[in-house]
Amino acid sequence: MCAAVPFKGVLIRDLESDQVGAFLAFYSRSFADRPNLAALFQHQFQNPCNHHRSLPPVALAVDEENIIGQFPVQPCKYVCNGQTRPAYIGYDFYVAEQYRQTGSGALLACHVVRRFHPYFVIGLSDTAKRMMSALKLRVIGELHKYLWLRKSMTTAASILRALTGAPAATLPDRPFPGIVPCRGKRLSQSFNPLDGDAVENNDKVLAFSRNAEFMRWRFLDHPNRYNLFTFAPRSSTYFVVRMCEWRGLRVLSLIDYRYPTSCPYLLKDIVEASKAVAKIVRADGVLTMSSYAPVDRVLSESAFFRVGKPNLIMADPDVTPDPELISAREAVLVTMADGDTDLLFQEAAC
């Protein structure tokens, strides 16, 4: 346990087992639009990278025993230049509004970044970016959101409802296919963990580990409903999707993907297969994210367009990507599955 740190009456300390109930109450109030926070936090207990504690790492700011700030951290591993190292990803950093001018948030962030090293964060507000820059983190990439819309009457109706503020339609659930033919290949839905780290020729690209243990925990045993498709015979080339509601649209989220970066045609297969699945399950389109310029190009060529603002990726890694690759957007391969990005999207009504 880390010792409590006093500051203007506020203590910074670790979450302990007797505080879980109070923490979840504060968490639920802070993110009231997420109905399944308790189940998702319970799932974090089984994180295979979390070997040093029984509870997931969470730093709390406490004022007279009342929780006024939180900073959960997800243990992980990252791969770069042929080396696999332990690391942490921060998410859902939140301080109660009345305490935001007291310095409590800066102290909480400083505590987390210094204690949990190497540290990564994906998606920051301007205030958080200034904090992280002051703590010597640097920008190593950006995560861009991309959308492809299916040409259909149901998609047009969904767009109209979204523009007018009408509630999203409730449609009959359509099962995901077991096999998707794509460009002369067969993609099979898998219910077994695979080793996504076995992918070839990705040494210079920084990516978070996708070993079999992580794959089972993050997707196959997750409270949300994911569908994992693998390529035969390349079982380390795969993609993961789930249905979600985004801005009034029922979209197929392309949550995660891994392929040999020397084989861009396999990425094209992944993108085209995700569109084929979207048509089968009658989604309005496909939503995904990219931090890697070659992925950007394939998405643009496949009629995806960028939406929203980019999410910055900041870090203080032990193994630093090549600065020239950072400038070219070829240093980092990050997806929605890293951090909590895809958990911000609600499961689609059906």
Domain with CATH 3.40.630.30 in the chain: 5-117
pLDDT of residue 167: 65
In the three-class reduction of DSSP (H, G, I as helix; E, B as strand; rest coil), residue 82 is classed as coil
Query: For residue 108, what is the enclosing H or E element?
Result: helix 104-115
Name the maximum alpha-carbon separation found in the chain: 65
Average pLDDT, the chain: 85
Q: What is the mean pLDDT of residues 100-107?
A: 86
- Local structure of 281: helix, strand or coil: coil
Whether 93 and 71 have beta carbons less than 8 Å apart is answered as: yes
pLDDT for residue 44: 86
Task: Count Cβ atoms below 10 Å from residue 152 Cβ, excluding itself.
Answer: 14
pLDDT at 350: 40
143-347 has which CATH code? 3.40.630
Q: Which of 295, 293, 290, 328 is nearest to 310 (CA)?
A: 290
Q: How many CA atoms lie within 13 A of 166 on its CB side?
A: 9
**Orientation angle between helical segments 104-115 and 126-134, nearest 10 degrees:** 50
- Which residue type sits at 332? V
Give kind and range of the element (H or E) at residue 154. Answer: helix 153-164
- Exposure of 341 by Cβ count < 10 A (0-12 exposed, 13-18 middle, 19+ buried)? buried
Provide the pLDDT confidence category of residue 139 given band limits of 50, 70 and 90: very high
pLDDT of 7 strictly over 60: no
Q: Which of 31-35, 182-186, 206-210, 296-300 has the highest mean pLDDT?
A: 296-300
Is the model's pLDDT at 45 over the cut of 90? no
pTM: 0.87
The CATH topology of domain 5-117 is Aminopeptidase (3.40.630)
Q: Are 70 and 57 contacting, i.e. CB atoms less than 8 angstroms apart?
A: no
